Amino acid sequence: MIPVQGVENQVVAVLGLGRSGRTAAAALAAGGAQVIAWDDGTDTRAAAEAEGLRIVDLTRDEGWQGVTALITSPGIAHLYPRPHPVIARAYALGVPVDNDIGLFFRSYATAGWDAFDRPPRVIAVTGSNGKSTTTALIHHILAEAGRPTQMGGNIGTGVLSLDPATDGEVVVLELSSYQTDLARALTPDVAVLTNISPDHLDRHAGLGGYFAAKRRLFAEGGPDRAVIGVDEAEGLYLAGQMAMGPADDRVIRISSGQKLDRAAWSVFARKGFLAEYRKGRQAASIDLRAVPGLPGAHNHQNACAAYAACRAVGLAPREIEAAFHSFAGLPHRSQLVAEIGGVRFVNDSKATNVDAAAKALQAFSRIRWIAGGLGKEGGIAALAPHLGQVTKAYLIGHSARDFALQIGQTPHDIAETMEAAVTRAAAEAEPGDTVLLAPAAASFDQYPNFEKRGEHFTALVEALARG
Protein backbone atom coordinates (compact mmCIF):
# COMPACT_ATOMS: atom_id res chain seq x y z
CA MET A 1 0.00 0.00 0.00
CA ILE A 2 1.08 3.59 -0.67
CA PRO A 3 0.33 5.83 2.33
CA VAL A 4 -1.10 9.20 1.31
CA GLN A 5 1.21 12.10 2.05
CA GLY A 6 0.21 15.50 3.44
CA VAL A 7 -2.92 14.40 5.31
CA GLU A 8 -1.63 13.80 8.83
CA ASN A 9 -4.23 14.74 11.47
CA GLN A 10 -6.62 16.04 8.79
CA VAL A 11 -10.25 14.95 8.50
CA VAL A 12 -10.70 13.50 5.02
CA ALA A 13 -14.04 12.22 3.71
CA VAL A 14 -14.40 9.32 1.27
CA LEU A 15 -17.46 8.99 -0.95
CA GLY A 16 -18.16 5.56 -2.49
CA LEU A 17 -17.02 2.41 -0.73
CA GLY A 18 -16.29 0.03 -3.56
CA ARG A 19 -12.78 -1.26 -4.21
CA SER A 20 -11.14 2.10 -4.90
CA GLY A 21 -12.98 3.87 -2.08
CA ARG A 22 -12.02 1.37 0.58
CA THR A 23 -8.44 1.30 -0.62
CA ALA A 24 -8.31 5.10 -0.57
CA ALA A 25 -9.67 5.10 2.97
CA ALA A 26 -6.99 2.64 4.10
CA ALA A 27 -4.20 4.59 2.38
CA LEU A 28 -5.41 7.85 3.91
CA ALA A 29 -5.48 6.26 7.36
CA ALA A 30 -1.96 4.91 6.77
CA GLY A 31 -0.90 8.50 6.08
CA GLY A 32 -2.30 9.69 9.40
CA ALA A 33 -5.64 11.09 8.26
CA GLN A 34 -8.85 10.87 10.28
CA VAL A 35 -11.08 9.17 7.72
CA ILE A 36 -14.85 9.43 7.55
CA ALA A 37 -16.85 7.74 4.81
CA TRP A 38 -20.23 7.59 3.10
CA ASP A 39 -21.92 5.45 0.46
CA ASP A 40 -25.46 5.62 -0.88
CA GLY A 41 -25.92 1.87 -0.36
CA THR A 42 -27.17 0.78 3.06
CA ASP A 43 -25.57 -2.67 2.81
CA THR A 44 -22.28 -1.20 1.58
CA ARG A 45 -22.18 1.24 4.49
CA ALA A 46 -22.89 -1.57 6.96
CA ALA A 47 -20.12 -3.75 5.51
CA ALA A 48 -17.60 -0.89 5.63
CA GLU A 49 -18.58 -0.01 9.19
CA ALA A 50 -18.10 -3.65 10.18
CA GLU A 51 -14.55 -3.36 8.81
CA GLY A 52 -13.86 -0.39 11.10
CA LEU A 53 -14.60 2.60 8.86
CA ARG A 54 -16.30 5.55 10.51
CA ILE A 55 -19.54 6.21 8.63
CA VAL A 56 -20.76 9.80 8.62
CA ASP A 57 -23.83 11.05 6.74
CA LEU A 58 -22.34 13.50 4.25
CA THR A 59 -25.76 14.46 2.95
CA ARG A 60 -26.14 16.59 6.10
CA ASP A 61 -24.18 19.75 6.87
CA GLU A 62 -23.15 18.57 10.34
CA GLY A 63 -21.25 15.71 8.73
CA TRP A 64 -18.78 18.18 7.19
CA GLN A 65 -17.37 19.55 10.43
CA GLY A 66 -13.60 19.96 9.99
CA VAL A 67 -13.44 18.11 6.64
CA THR A 68 -10.45 19.28 4.56
CA ALA A 69 -10.97 17.15 1.42
CA LEU A 70 -13.43 14.77 -0.24
CA ILE A 71 -12.11 11.73 -2.10
CA THR A 72 -14.64 10.23 -4.52
CA SER A 73 -14.78 7.01 -6.50
CA PRO A 74 -14.45 7.39 -10.30
CA GLY A 75 -17.90 6.00 -11.06
CA ILE A 76 -19.64 8.83 -9.21
CA ALA A 77 -20.58 11.83 -11.37
CA HIS A 78 -18.85 15.00 -10.27
CA LEU A 79 -20.09 17.40 -12.98
CA TYR A 80 -22.19 15.91 -15.78
CA PRO A 81 -24.96 15.03 -16.21
CA ARG A 82 -25.16 16.50 -12.69
CA PRO A 83 -22.88 16.31 -9.63
CA HIS A 84 -23.71 13.78 -6.95
CA PRO A 85 -25.39 15.65 -4.06
CA VAL A 86 -22.46 15.00 -1.72
CA ILE A 87 -19.98 16.36 -4.28
CA ALA A 88 -22.23 19.35 -4.93
CA ARG A 89 -22.23 20.01 -1.17
CA ALA A 90 -18.41 19.86 -1.14
CA TYR A 91 -18.27 22.42 -3.93
CA ALA A 92 -20.64 24.71 -2.05
CA LEU A 93 -18.57 24.42 1.13
CA GLY A 94 -15.27 25.02 -0.69
CA VAL A 95 -13.95 21.54 0.15
CA PRO A 96 -11.47 20.25 -2.50
CA VAL A 97 -12.60 17.12 -4.36
CA ASP A 98 -10.05 14.54 -5.55
CA ASN A 99 -9.81 10.84 -6.36
CA ASP A 100 -7.37 8.00 -5.73
CA ILE A 101 -5.38 8.83 -8.87
CA GLY A 102 -4.67 12.33 -7.58
CA LEU A 103 -3.65 10.89 -4.21
CA PHE A 104 -1.30 8.42 -5.90
CA PHE A 105 0.54 11.02 -7.97
CA ARG A 106 1.10 13.27 -4.97
CA SER A 107 2.20 10.39 -2.71
CA TYR A 108 4.21 7.94 -4.84
CA ALA A 109 7.55 9.79 -4.67
CA THR A 110 9.20 9.78 -1.24
CA ALA A 111 12.46 10.92 0.35
CA GLY A 112 13.65 7.32 0.12
CA TRP A 113 14.09 7.74 -3.62
CA ASP A 114 17.29 9.70 -2.95
CA ALA A 115 19.02 6.40 -2.20
CA PHE A 116 17.99 4.76 -5.50
CA ASP A 117 20.45 4.40 -8.38
CA ARG A 118 17.59 4.84 -10.88
CA PRO A 119 14.46 6.80 -10.02
CA PRO A 120 11.16 4.96 -10.44
CA ARG A 121 8.97 6.05 -13.35
CA VAL A 122 5.27 6.04 -14.16
CA ILE A 123 3.74 5.30 -17.57
CA ALA A 124 0.05 6.27 -17.75
CA VAL A 125 -2.15 5.03 -20.60
CA THR A 126 -5.51 6.45 -21.64
CA GLY A 127 -7.67 6.39 -24.77
CA SER A 128 -11.02 5.10 -26.00
CA ASN A 129 -10.06 1.63 -27.24
CA GLY A 130 -7.03 -0.53 -26.62
CA LYS A 131 -5.82 1.04 -23.39
CA SER A 132 -6.14 -2.18 -21.37
CA THR A 133 -4.24 -4.23 -23.94
CA THR A 134 -1.62 -1.48 -24.31
CA THR A 135 -1.17 -1.24 -20.53
CA ALA A 136 -0.85 -5.01 -20.14
CA LEU A 137 1.54 -5.21 -23.09
CA ILE A 138 3.83 -2.51 -21.71
CA HIS A 139 3.88 -4.26 -18.34
CA HIS A 140 4.64 -7.59 -20.03
CA ILE A 141 7.49 -6.13 -22.09
CA LEU A 142 9.08 -4.52 -19.04
CA ALA A 143 8.83 -7.75 -17.04
CA GLU A 144 10.28 -9.80 -19.89
CA ALA A 145 13.16 -7.32 -20.13
CA GLY A 146 13.92 -7.78 -16.44
CA ARG A 147 12.73 -4.36 -15.29
CA PRO A 148 10.92 -4.24 -11.95
CA THR A 149 7.34 -3.26 -12.75
CA GLN A 150 3.82 -3.04 -11.36
CA MET A 151 0.50 -2.56 -13.14
CA GLY A 152 -2.64 -0.91 -11.82
CA GLY A 153 -5.35 1.69 -12.17
CA ASN A 154 -8.35 0.80 -14.29
CA ILE A 155 -6.82 -2.64 -14.84
CA GLY A 156 -5.61 -4.94 -12.12
CA THR A 157 -4.65 -3.40 -8.79
CA GLY A 158 -6.01 -0.11 -7.46
CA VAL A 159 -3.29 2.54 -7.55
CA LEU A 160 -3.04 2.98 -3.79
CA SER A 161 -2.81 -0.80 -3.32
CA LEU A 162 0.46 -0.90 -5.26
CA ASP A 163 3.64 -1.54 -3.33
CA PRO A 164 5.95 1.39 -2.54
CA ALA A 165 8.51 2.06 -5.25
CA THR A 166 11.72 0.11 -5.69
CA ASP A 167 14.95 1.12 -7.41
CA GLY A 168 14.39 1.57 -11.14
CA GLU A 169 10.80 0.36 -11.07
CA VAL A 170 8.27 1.31 -13.75
CA VAL A 171 4.61 1.51 -12.74
CA VAL A 172 2.16 1.16 -15.65
CA LEU A 173 -1.31 2.63 -15.10
CA GLU A 174 -4.46 2.39 -17.20
CA LEU A 175 -6.53 5.53 -16.63
CA SER A 176 -10.10 6.10 -17.77
CA SER A 177 -11.60 9.48 -18.56
CA TYR A 178 -13.48 9.27 -15.24
CA GLN A 179 -10.13 9.05 -13.46
CA THR A 180 -8.21 11.72 -15.39
CA ASP A 181 -11.09 14.21 -15.35
CA LEU A 182 -11.02 14.82 -11.59
CA ALA A 183 -7.52 13.95 -10.37
CA ARG A 184 -5.88 17.06 -8.88
CA ALA A 185 -2.38 15.69 -9.58
CA LEU A 186 -1.41 14.01 -12.86
CA THR A 187 2.35 13.75 -13.29
CA PRO A 188 3.37 10.65 -15.27
CA ASP A 189 6.84 10.39 -16.76
CA VAL A 190 5.35 8.97 -19.96
CA ALA A 191 1.74 9.64 -21.01
CA VAL A 192 0.05 7.57 -23.73
CA LEU A 193 -3.10 8.31 -25.76
CA THR A 194 -4.09 5.32 -27.89
CA ASN A 195 -7.01 6.89 -29.82
CA ILE A 196 -10.25 8.84 -29.43
CA SER A 197 -13.77 7.78 -30.37
CA PRO A 198 -17.11 8.78 -28.83
CA ASP A 199 -17.71 7.16 -25.43
CA HIS A 200 -19.18 8.14 -22.05
CA LEU A 201 -20.61 11.26 -23.68
CA ASP A 202 -23.33 11.75 -21.06
CA ARG A 203 -20.68 11.83 -18.33
CA HIS A 204 -18.65 14.48 -20.17
CA ALA A 205 -21.44 16.49 -21.86
CA GLY A 206 -20.27 15.51 -25.35
CA LEU A 207 -17.16 14.57 -27.28
CA GLY A 208 -15.37 17.83 -26.47
CA GLY A 209 -15.69 17.24 -22.73
CA TYR A 210 -14.60 13.63 -23.14
CA PHE A 211 -11.47 14.65 -25.04
CA ALA A 212 -10.77 17.40 -22.50
CA ALA A 213 -10.75 14.77 -19.74
CA LYS A 214 -8.19 12.70 -21.67
CA ARG A 215 -6.13 15.77 -22.51
CA ARG A 216 -5.63 16.57 -18.81
CA LEU A 217 -3.20 13.66 -18.52
CA PHE A 218 -0.86 15.55 -20.86
CA ALA A 219 -1.63 19.17 -20.06
CA GLU A 220 -1.65 19.02 -16.25
CA GLY A 221 1.60 17.25 -15.52
CA GLY A 222 3.84 17.86 -18.51
CA PRO A 223 5.19 14.31 -19.03
CA ASP A 224 8.78 13.85 -20.16
CA ARG A 225 7.48 11.92 -23.17
CA ALA A 226 4.05 11.99 -24.78
CA VAL A 227 3.02 9.02 -26.94
CA ILE A 228 0.02 10.13 -28.99
CA GLY A 229 -2.12 8.31 -31.54
CA VAL A 230 -2.63 10.67 -34.46
CA ASP A 231 -5.19 8.74 -36.52
CA GLU A 232 -7.95 11.09 -35.31
CA ALA A 233 -8.16 14.87 -35.35
CA GLU A 234 -8.02 15.06 -31.56
CA GLY A 235 -4.70 13.21 -31.47
CA LEU A 236 -3.21 15.44 -34.17
CA TYR A 237 -4.34 18.50 -32.24
CA LEU A 238 -2.87 17.21 -28.96
CA ALA A 239 0.45 16.26 -30.56
CA GLY A 240 0.67 19.76 -32.03
CA GLN A 241 -0.03 21.32 -28.65
CA MET A 242 2.56 19.23 -26.82
CA ALA A 243 5.41 19.70 -29.30
CA MET A 244 7.54 22.84 -29.44
CA GLY A 245 8.18 22.27 -33.14
CA PRO A 246 8.84 19.62 -35.81
CA ALA A 247 12.19 18.66 -34.23
CA ASP A 248 10.76 18.09 -30.72
CA ASP A 249 11.19 14.39 -29.99
CA ARG A 250 9.46 14.58 -26.62
CA VAL A 251 6.31 13.73 -28.60
CA ILE A 252 6.21 10.27 -30.19
CA ARG A 253 3.44 10.07 -32.78
CA ILE A 254 1.90 6.66 -33.44
CA SER A 255 -0.42 5.38 -36.15
CA SER A 256 -1.99 2.24 -37.54
CA GLY A 257 -2.10 2.72 -41.29
CA GLN A 258 -0.27 6.00 -41.86
CA LYS A 259 3.40 6.33 -42.72
CA LEU A 260 4.88 8.84 -40.28
CA ASP A 261 8.39 9.57 -41.48
CA ARG A 262 8.55 13.36 -41.09
CA ALA A 263 8.14 13.75 -37.34
CA ALA A 264 11.13 13.86 -34.99
CA TRP A 265 10.08 10.52 -33.50
CA SER A 266 7.29 8.24 -34.70
CA VAL A 267 6.16 4.63 -34.59
CA PHE A 268 3.63 3.28 -37.07
CA ALA A 269 2.27 0.01 -38.44
CA ARG A 270 1.44 -0.64 -42.09
CA LYS A 271 0.64 -3.95 -43.78
CA GLY A 272 1.59 -5.87 -40.66
CA PHE A 273 4.99 -4.23 -40.08
CA LEU A 274 5.86 -1.88 -37.24
CA ALA A 275 8.43 0.80 -38.06
CA GLU A 276 10.22 3.28 -35.83
CA TYR A 277 11.48 6.51 -37.39
CA ARG A 278 13.73 9.10 -35.76
CA LYS A 279 14.67 12.33 -37.49
CA GLY A 280 13.55 11.00 -40.86
CA ARG A 281 15.44 7.72 -40.69
CA GLN A 282 14.16 4.25 -39.92
CA ALA A 283 15.52 3.00 -36.62
CA ALA A 284 13.79 -0.39 -36.33
CA SER A 285 11.24 -2.68 -37.96
CA ILE A 286 9.19 -5.58 -36.55
CA ASP A 287 6.98 -8.07 -38.42
CA LEU A 288 3.74 -8.16 -36.39
CA ARG A 289 1.99 -10.69 -38.62
CA ALA A 290 3.50 -13.62 -36.76
CA VAL A 291 2.60 -12.30 -33.29
CA PRO A 292 -0.41 -14.42 -32.24
CA GLY A 293 -1.42 -12.27 -29.27
CA LEU A 294 -1.81 -9.10 -31.35
CA PRO A 295 -4.08 -9.82 -34.34
CA GLY A 296 -5.49 -7.06 -36.54
CA ALA A 297 -4.81 -3.39 -37.20
CA HIS A 298 -6.26 -2.28 -33.87
CA ASN A 299 -3.80 -4.49 -32.00
CA HIS A 300 -1.01 -3.25 -34.23
CA GLN A 301 -1.88 0.25 -33.01
CA ASN A 302 -1.64 -1.06 -29.43
CA ALA A 303 1.75 -2.55 -30.29
CA CYS A 304 2.95 0.81 -31.61
CA ALA A 305 1.86 2.57 -28.42
CA ALA A 306 3.50 -0.02 -26.18
CA TYR A 307 6.67 -0.05 -28.28
CA ALA A 308 6.95 3.74 -28.10
CA ALA A 309 6.36 3.85 -24.35
CA CYS A 310 8.99 1.18 -23.73
CA ARG A 311 11.49 2.92 -26.00
CA ALA A 312 10.83 6.09 -24.00
CA VAL A 313 12.04 4.36 -20.82
CA GLY A 314 15.16 2.99 -22.50
CA LEU A 315 14.34 -0.50 -23.78
CA ALA A 316 15.96 -1.71 -26.99
CA PRO A 317 13.92 -2.76 -30.05
CA ARG A 318 15.13 -6.36 -29.83
CA GLU A 319 13.91 -6.63 -26.21
CA ILE A 320 10.48 -5.33 -27.18
CA GLU A 321 10.19 -7.60 -30.22
CA ALA A 322 11.02 -10.69 -28.20
CA ALA A 323 8.37 -9.80 -25.62
CA PHE A 324 5.72 -9.25 -28.30
CA HIS A 325 5.92 -12.93 -29.24
CA SER A 326 5.29 -14.15 -25.68
CA PHE A 327 2.30 -11.86 -25.07
CA ALA A 328 -0.86 -13.95 -24.76
CA GLY A 329 -3.32 -11.07 -25.00
CA LEU A 330 -6.09 -10.19 -22.56
CA PRO A 331 -9.29 -12.12 -21.91
CA HIS A 332 -12.29 -10.83 -23.87
CA ARG A 333 -10.13 -8.77 -26.25
CA SER A 334 -9.48 -10.68 -29.50
CA GLN A 335 -8.75 -13.69 -27.29
CA LEU A 336 -8.17 -16.92 -29.19
CA VAL A 337 -10.14 -19.43 -27.11
CA ALA A 338 -9.59 -22.54 -29.23
CA GLU A 339 -9.10 -23.91 -32.70
CA ILE A 340 -11.38 -26.86 -33.44
CA GLY A 341 -11.19 -28.68 -36.75
CA GLY A 342 -9.51 -25.72 -38.43
CA VAL A 343 -12.08 -23.21 -37.07
CA ARG A 344 -10.87 -20.46 -34.72
CA PHE A 345 -13.09 -19.28 -31.88
CA VAL A 346 -12.28 -15.71 -30.78
CA ASN A 347 -13.71 -13.94 -27.73
CA ASP A 348 -13.90 -10.14 -28.13
CA SER A 349 -16.72 -9.57 -25.64
CA LYS A 350 -15.11 -6.22 -24.75
CA ALA A 351 -16.21 -4.94 -28.18
CA THR A 352 -19.25 -3.26 -26.65
CA ASN A 353 -19.51 -0.39 -29.14
CA VAL A 354 -19.49 0.01 -32.91
CA ASP A 355 -15.91 1.29 -33.12
CA ALA A 356 -14.48 -1.66 -31.19
CA ALA A 357 -16.59 -4.15 -33.15
CA ALA A 358 -15.40 -2.63 -36.44
CA LYS A 359 -11.79 -3.17 -35.42
CA ALA A 360 -12.52 -6.78 -34.53
CA LEU A 361 -14.28 -7.40 -37.85
CA GLN A 362 -11.28 -6.00 -39.73
CA ALA A 363 -8.87 -8.33 -37.92
CA PHE A 364 -10.19 -11.60 -39.36
CA SER A 365 -11.53 -13.10 -42.59
CA ARG A 366 -14.38 -15.58 -43.19
CA ILE A 367 -16.16 -14.56 -40.02
CA ARG A 368 -19.14 -16.18 -38.39
CA TRP A 369 -20.13 -13.23 -36.24
CA ILE A 370 -21.94 -13.46 -32.90
CA ALA A 371 -23.37 -10.03 -32.11
CA GLY A 372 -26.08 -8.41 -30.08
CA GLY A 373 -27.09 -7.63 -26.54
CA LEU A 374 -28.34 -4.30 -25.29
CA GLY A 375 -27.77 -2.05 -28.31
CA LYS A 376 -26.46 1.48 -27.94
CA GLU A 377 -27.76 4.70 -29.44
CA GLY A 378 -27.36 4.68 -33.22
CA GLY A 379 -27.39 0.90 -33.54
CA ILE A 380 -24.86 -0.84 -35.81
CA ALA A 381 -25.62 0.70 -39.19
CA ALA A 382 -22.12 2.21 -39.18
CA LEU A 383 -20.67 -1.32 -39.39
CA ALA A 384 -21.95 -1.79 -42.96
CA PRO A 385 -18.50 -1.12 -44.58
CA HIS A 386 -16.95 -3.86 -42.41
CA LEU A 387 -19.36 -6.72 -43.11
CA GLY A 388 -17.69 -7.95 -46.29
CA GLN A 389 -15.77 -10.64 -44.39
CA VAL A 390 -18.87 -11.83 -42.51
CA THR A 391 -20.10 -15.16 -43.85
CA LYS A 392 -23.04 -15.17 -41.47
CA ALA A 393 -24.21 -13.33 -38.35
CA TYR A 394 -25.77 -15.01 -35.32
CA LEU A 395 -27.70 -12.38 -33.37
CA ILE A 396 -28.45 -12.58 -29.67
CA GLY A 397 -30.10 -10.61 -26.91
CA HIS A 398 -32.46 -7.67 -26.68
CA SER A 399 -31.32 -6.00 -29.91
CA ALA A 400 -31.12 -9.11 -32.10
CA ARG A 401 -34.03 -8.16 -34.34
CA ASP A 402 -33.01 -4.50 -34.53
CA PHE A 403 -29.52 -5.56 -35.58
CA ALA A 404 -30.98 -7.89 -38.23
CA LEU A 405 -32.65 -4.89 -39.87
CA GLN A 406 -29.35 -2.97 -39.95
CA ILE A 407 -26.98 -5.48 -41.56
CA GLY A 408 -28.45 -5.41 -45.05
CA GLN A 409 -28.01 -8.54 -47.12
CA THR A 410 -25.62 -10.23 -44.69
CA PRO A 411 -26.97 -13.75 -43.97
CA HIS A 412 -28.09 -14.07 -40.37
CA ASP A 413 -29.91 -16.13 -37.75
CA ILE A 414 -31.85 -14.76 -34.79
CA ALA A 415 -30.21 -17.05 -32.26
CA GLU A 416 -31.48 -15.21 -29.15
CA THR A 417 -29.06 -16.92 -26.72
CA MET A 418 -25.32 -17.47 -26.60
CA GLU A 419 -25.84 -21.23 -26.43
CA ALA A 420 -27.81 -21.25 -29.66
CA ALA A 421 -25.40 -18.88 -31.42
CA VAL A 422 -22.29 -20.90 -30.58
CA THR A 423 -23.98 -24.21 -31.43
CA ARG A 424 -25.21 -23.00 -34.83
CA ALA A 425 -22.00 -21.20 -35.75
CA ALA A 426 -19.87 -24.21 -34.83
CA ALA A 427 -22.12 -26.59 -36.79
CA GLU A 428 -22.01 -24.44 -39.94
CA ALA A 429 -18.37 -23.32 -39.80
CA GLU A 430 -15.81 -24.72 -42.20
CA PRO A 431 -12.01 -24.98 -41.82
CA GLY A 432 -10.50 -21.51 -42.17
CA ASP A 433 -13.53 -19.77 -40.65
CA THR A 434 -13.41 -17.68 -37.47
CA VAL A 435 -16.31 -17.72 -35.03
CA LEU A 436 -16.04 -14.22 -33.57
CA LEU A 437 -17.90 -12.88 -30.54
CA ALA A 438 -17.82 -9.09 -31.08
CA PRO A 439 -21.22 -7.98 -29.76
CA ALA A 440 -21.25 -4.23 -30.62
CA ALA A 441 -23.61 -3.92 -27.67
CA ALA A 442 -23.70 -3.81 -23.89
CA SER A 443 -24.24 -7.06 -22.00
CA PHE A 444 -26.74 -6.00 -19.36
CA ASP A 445 -29.81 -7.61 -20.94
CA GLN A 446 -28.41 -11.12 -20.36
CA TYR A 447 -25.20 -10.76 -18.30
CA PRO A 448 -23.99 -8.55 -15.43
CA ASN A 449 -20.96 -7.40 -17.45
CA PHE A 450 -18.97 -8.09 -20.61
CA GLU A 451 -16.61 -10.38 -18.68
CA LYS A 452 -19.41 -12.79 -17.75
CA ARG A 453 -20.61 -12.75 -21.37
CA GLY A 454 -17.11 -13.61 -22.59
CA GLU A 455 -16.69 -16.28 -19.95
CA HIS A 456 -19.94 -17.93 -21.07
CA PHE A 457 -18.76 -17.94 -24.68
CA THR A 458 -15.42 -19.38 -23.60
CA ALA A 459 -17.06 -22.13 -21.53
CA LEU A 460 -19.29 -23.14 -24.44
CA VAL A 461 -16.33 -23.30 -26.83
CA GLU A 462 -14.24 -25.29 -24.35
CA ALA A 463 -17.10 -27.76 -24.02
CA LEU A 464 -17.11 -28.15 -27.81
CA ALA A 465 -13.37 -28.74 -27.78
CA ARG A 466 -13.75 -31.51 -25.21
CA GLY A 467 -16.30 -33.14 -27.52
363 with 296, same domain?
no
395 with 298, same domain?
no
Pairing of strands 335-340, 343-347: antiparallel
Closest CA relative to residue 267, chosen from 228, 314, 225, 323: 228
Residue 56 lies in a domain: yes
- The strand pairing partners of 437, in sequence order, are 347, 370
236 with 364, same domain?
no
pLDDT of residue 181: 95
81 with 112, same domain?
no
Handedness of CA 44, 47, 51, 54 (dihedral sign): positive
Q: How far is CA 450 from CA 111, 351, 389, 456, in A?
A: 42, 9, 24, 10
Ligand-binding site membership of 133 (annotated): yes
Residue type, 193: L
Instruction: Give the total number of structural domains in the chain.
Output: 3
254 with 347, same domain?
no
153 with 284, same domain?
yes
pLDDT of residue 257: 92
Q: What are phi and psi of 13, to 5 degrees?
A: -95, 145
* Strand ranges across the sheet with 412-416: 335-340, 343-347, 434-437, 367-372, 390-396, 412-416
Domain that holds residue 236: 104-325
Pairing of strands 11-15, 67-72: parallel
198 with 125, same domain?
yes
Assess whether pLDDT exceeds 80 at residue 452.
Answer: yes
68 with 193, same domain?
no
CATH of the domain at 34: 3.40.50.720
CATH of the domain at 203: 3.40.1190.10
Residue 6 lies in a domain: no
What Rg value do the Cα atoms of the chain yield, rounded?
Answer: 23
Structure letter (DSSP) for residue 438:
-
pLDDT of residue 58: 97
Give the chain's length: 467
Residue 300 lies in a domain: yes
Assess whether pLDDT exceeds 80 at residue 199.
Answer: no
Residue 3 lies in a domain: no
Q: How far is CA 379 from CA 142, 349, 355, 396, in A?
A: 40, 17, 11, 14
Residue-wise pLDDT tens digits, 99-126: 999 999 999 999 999 999 999 999 999 9
Ligand-binding site membership of 129 (annotated): yes
d(CA 238, CA 214): 10
74, 98, 122 - which closes a domain:
98
157 with 227, same domain?
yes
Q: Which helix (H) or strand (E) holds 435?
A: strand 434-437
Assess whether pLDDT exceeds 90 at residue 457.
Answer: yes
Residue 330 lies in a domain: no
Ligand-binding site membership of 153 (annotated): no
Confirm if 185 and 107 have CB atoms less than 8 A apart. Answer: no
The mean per-residue pLDDT over the stretch 231-251 comes to 95
Residue-wise pLDDT tens digits, 118-167: 999 999 999 998 899 999 999 999 999 999 999 999 997 899 999 999 99
162 with 278, same domain?
yes
98, 126, 150 - which closes a domain:
98
Residue 214 lies in a domain: yes
DSSP string, 174-208: E--HHHHHH-S----SEEEE------SHHHHTSHH
320 with 354, same domain?
no
Ligand-binding site membership of 52 (annotated): no
68 with 109, same domain?
no
Q: How far is CA 403 from CA 111, 208, 213, 345, 408, in A?
A: 58, 29, 32, 22, 10
For 364, how many CA atoms within 13 A lie in the half-sphere containing its CB? 27
98, 114, 137 - which closes a domain:
98
User: What is the per-residue burial (b if ≥16 Cβ within 10 Å, else e) of 21-55?
Assistant: bbbbbbbbbbbebbbbbbbeeeebbeebeeeebeb
Residue 426 lies in a domain: yes
CA 232 to the chain's CA centroid = 18
Ligand-binding site membership of 197 (annotated): no
Residue-wise pLDDT tens digits, 429-441: 999 999 999 999 9
Residue 5 lies in a domain: no
CATH of the domain at 363: 3.90.190.20
Assess whether pLDDT exceeds 80 at residue 190.
Answer: yes
Alpha helical stretches, state H, 243-382: 296-312, 317-325, 354-363
Q: Which residues contact residue 384 at a Cβ distance below 8 angstroms, ignoring those fewer than 6 apart? A: 406, 407, 408
